[in-house]
């Protein structure tokens, strides 16, 4: 199990107790062994996929120790203990946490927001185990999940013609069908409260993909027979590639079904459909944007 960043603070401080300079990557490797992390633990990443969870937590443990004056960063990616850090270790603390670090004025200055300072209040969130990135990503995922549920509920209420338009626009945004005008021509008549038609795989139209979409209620799950019929429809069209889109979901048998010929089918359920709509900005609009930035060491010429 990956430890939270507060649990990493004391082992990190002990790892640099010999007063030598250590590279962060060396400390990460050392601490991963200290906590007996498995390879799977080490590979686990934040929801964004941009950083490994353990690396992120070690980084924040270092940042908090630095803000409290227990370690310093003599040069880029290096860590060294300070005299204050040595003094803290000499007291043999059982652990080091945010609450422990509040004894240092520099840390209080760092940890208290401007709003709290102006209002003379202090929000004690020392029990929070997640790093700022984890809190931000967790909040983002919660908002995204709620939005996805709203989207699919809205899509289910659409008319067949609007649903046809939505699917066409989504596929075009994903790079299929060339222009929206060309893609629209490629789609056949709507039927069975969905669409059945073809769309270009690329802008040059080198290959054609057959589409079937089911605007079904959540409880109306698409089973293997529907997929089998779709494969038959592909064979009748002489096609080998297909996309089956539903606003509901697929049974395990439907997901596991593999045609014996060269036919390739991609299944997109309601959850995936709503996620793709969010990713490609279809039916959604931005309210706010938050960019997470870091120091550009190249600009400052750090070694």
**Where exactly are the structural domains of the chain?**
5-113, 158-279
Chain-wide mean pLDDT for the chain?
A: 85
In whole angstroms, what is the distance from residue 190 CA to residue 303 CA?
A: 63
pTM over 0.85, yes/no: no
Q: Mean pLDDT over residues 86-105, rounded?
A: 95
Of 67-76, 194-203, 216-225, the one with minimum mean pLDDT is 194-203
pLDDT of residue 193: 39
The per-residue pLDDT for range 41-57, each reduced to its tens digit, is 999 998 878 889 999 99
Are 247 and 215 a contacting pair, CB within 8 Å?
yes
* CA contacts within 13 A on the Cβ side of 253: 8
The per-residue pLDDT for range 161-208, each reduced to its tens digit, is 788 788 888 988 888 876 677 676 656 554 443 456 778 887 777 788
The per-residue pLDDT for range 104-146, each reduced to its tens digit, is 999 988 877 545 555 555 566 666 778 888 888 888 888 888 8
The CATH number of the structural domain formed by 158-279 is: 3.40.1340.10
Pick from 133, 169, 129: which is nearest to 45 by CA?
A: 133
The per-residue pLDDT for range 150-161, each reduced to its tens digit, is 999 899 988 877
Helix locations, 48-179, DSSP H? 53-67, 83-90, 98-101, 105-111, 114-119, 132-156, 160-173
Fold of 5-113: Arc Repressor Mutant, subunit A (1.10.10)
């Amino acid at each position: 199990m990956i430890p939270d960043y507060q649990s990493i603070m004391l082992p990190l401080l002990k790892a640099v107790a010999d007063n030598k300079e250590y590279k962060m990557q060396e400390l990460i490797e050392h601490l991963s062994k200290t906590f007996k992390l498995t390879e799977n633990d080490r590979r686990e990443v934040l929801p964004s996929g941009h950083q490994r969870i353990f690396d992120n937590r070690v980084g924040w443990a270092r940042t908090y120790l630095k803000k409290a004056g227990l370690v310093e960063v003599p040069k880029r990616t290096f860590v060294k203990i300070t005299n204050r850090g040595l003094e803290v270790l000499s007291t043999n603390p059982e652990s080091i946490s945010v609450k422990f670090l509040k004894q240092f004025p520099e840390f209080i200055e760092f940890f208290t927001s401007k709003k709290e300072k102006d209002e003379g209040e202090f929000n004690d969130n020392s029990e929070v185990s997640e790093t700022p990135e984890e809190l931000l990503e967790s909040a983002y995922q919660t908002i995204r999940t709620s939005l996805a549920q709203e989207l699919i509920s809205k899509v289910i209420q659409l008319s067949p013609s609007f649903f046809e338009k939505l699917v066409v626009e989504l596929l075009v945004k994903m790079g299929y069908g060339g222009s929206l005008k060309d893609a629209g021509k490629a789609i056949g008549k709507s039927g069975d409260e969905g669409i059945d038609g073809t769309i270009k795989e690329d802008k040059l139209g080198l290959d054609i993909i057959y589409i079937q979409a089911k605007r079904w209620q959540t409880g109306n799950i698409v089973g293997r027979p529907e997929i089998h019929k779709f494969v038959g429809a592909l064979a009748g069209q002489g096609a080998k590639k297909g996309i089956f889109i539903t606003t509901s979901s697929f049974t395990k048998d439907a997901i596991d079904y593999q045609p014996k010929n060269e036919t390739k089918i991609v299944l997109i359920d309601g959850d995936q459909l709503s996620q793709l709509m969010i990713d490609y900005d279809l039916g959604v609009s931005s309210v706010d944007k938050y960019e997470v930035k870091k120091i550009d060491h190249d600009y400052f010429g750090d070694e």
